[in-house]
Structures are given as structure tokens and as C-alpha cells.
Structure 1
């Protein structure tokens, strides 16, 4: 049986936050947006339908609860939830808090503008904010 390994491209573009019951939560290294990536810790999965029904339910519970908490905490206008997988095929879900005045609005964040990597202090602050949201979830 294969074991879960995080795709090296996801590992290079993110910082670890926490392991939820199913997913690894990662902070995307782009300070323009509050942006979390959820990766189910299931080996060799690239599509949601490849998960068991129980895993699918857990995935959506984690995504919707964390997404709602993020939108409220960061006072966003919209929460973008997406599974693309065209570049990184490992199943992962993006949770991106958006604002009507952000640089990419109303277009998607992907391929729009230049990512702004976190400065160390800024990354620590964002991690703390997100960890507080994660700790408040009832998963």
C-alpha cells in the first residue's frame, strides 16, 4: 500500500499549518491573499471522486468549515474554493479569501499578477491567525 507524500511543488510553494482529520493544511506563500491549501493525506489521489464516500464527506466538512472561518476572520467579500490540478495533479483544494478591491478582482488569482512571498514576521502572524481558526473547528 502506498503512503501519502506531499507533491514537491506544493511543498515548495507552501508552509505547513496543521494536520486535520483527513487533510494537511498548508499556507500558500503569497501574502496578497489569506490562502490555504488542503491536501487529503491519501496516497495517489488526483480527483475527489477517487476518495471514499466517507473521505469525500470529511474533505468537504474540512473545506467548508475552514473556509467559513477564514472568510469571517479575514472579513472577506468572497471565498474562492477550487480544485484545479492541471499543474500539480495531487488532489488539493485551494481556499482563498477575496476582496472586491484586491489586485486580481474579479478574475481568478491563478496566473494573475506576481505572487508576493511572505516576510518571516508576516508569515508567522498569518500562521497564528490561521491556526486559531483551525483550532476552533469541530471536525
Structure 2
């Protein structure tokens, strides 16, 4: 049974579900920062996914990347699967601007997270959910329960 890592759950907000991945927004208002988490038990690396799931992950990642790049008018989109602190496979999609506080360096460990206000969180969730509405299943009231 798939279960989201507690650190990912603590640090992010559920946006919705693609066919393979859970889409989550990292609760740090300094960067539009999303993660894709394949809903597969015990996976820590992309190569561990079955071939069909690898293809699906890449398709979902490319769709998300293009959507974020266009919707947020990014200077650059950073996509990475690190897993140094959380081993559960998750793919970061971070919108970067040449004006952001870390540019051009990586964002990890530079500054403490700044949580979204309720209003800004609702705004960004709605924006992404609408843009991905053809491919994303929205969370229900029991969204943080796993199967």
C-alpha cells in the first residue's frame, strides 16, 4: 500500500492526482515549487518503476513542467529527483527567476521556508488545478487518506 513520507506530507499541500503521481505544492512561498510522487510502495529511484510507470512519470513531469513554465513565466524550471533527505521517490519542479533570492544557485538549504498565506495558497492551488484540469483529479474531502 502506498503511503506518503511524513516529511513530504508535513512540508507540502496536496494539489491533485495524475494517473500515476500525486501532485503536491511545497509550502514555501519563495518559489512555486511542486513535487510529483509516484503512488507506488517502496520506490526510491526512477529505474525501480516498471517501464510503463517510468513512461507515465516522464509524461506527467513534462506536462507539469510545461504548464508551470508557461503559467509562472519562469526564467528556468529546475526538475530534479534528489532523495538525499527523503528517500521516497519524488520529482521536484521548481520555478526559478533570475530575480529570486537564490539565483543562480540551487535553492536547497539557502533560506528557511516561508509558508503561504491562506489566500495565496488558495490562489496558487486554483491556478494550477484549472490549468491541469484535463489531466488532474482533484482531491476529495478525504484526500490525505491513502490506498
TM-score (norm 1): 0.95
After TM superposition, the runs of 4+ consecutive aligned structure 1 residues lying more than 3 A away are none
Q: Which residue of 2 aligns with 1:63?
A: 61
Q: Which has the higher contact order (CA 8 A, sep 6+)?
A: 2
> 1:137, CA displacement in angstroms?
4.5
Question: Which of these residues, 112, 124, 128, is aligned with residue 122 of structure 2?
Answer: 124
Flag structure 2 segments of 5+ consecutive residues without an equivalent.
Answer: 137-147
Q: C-alpha distance in 1, partners of 2:67/2:112?
A: 26
* Pairwise CA RMSD: 1.1
TM-score (norm 2): 0.90
Q: C-alpha distance in 2, partners of 1:36/1:135?
A: 16
Asked if 2 retains the 8 angstrom alpha-carbon contact of 1:5 and 1:43, the reply is: yes
Q: C-alpha distance in 2, partners of 1:40/1:55?
A: 8
Q: C-alpha distance in 2, partners of 1:136/1:115?
A: 31
Match of 2:60, SS state, is helix
> 1:136, CA displacement in angstroms?
4.3
| Alignment: residue pair count | 136
Q: Which residue of 1 aligns with 2:23?
A: 25
Q: Which residue of 2 aligns with 1:96?
A: 94
> 1:43, CA displacement in angstroms?
0.3
Match of 1:113, SS state, is coil
Which aligned pairs between 1:30-109 and structure 2 lie closer than 5 A?
30-109=28-107
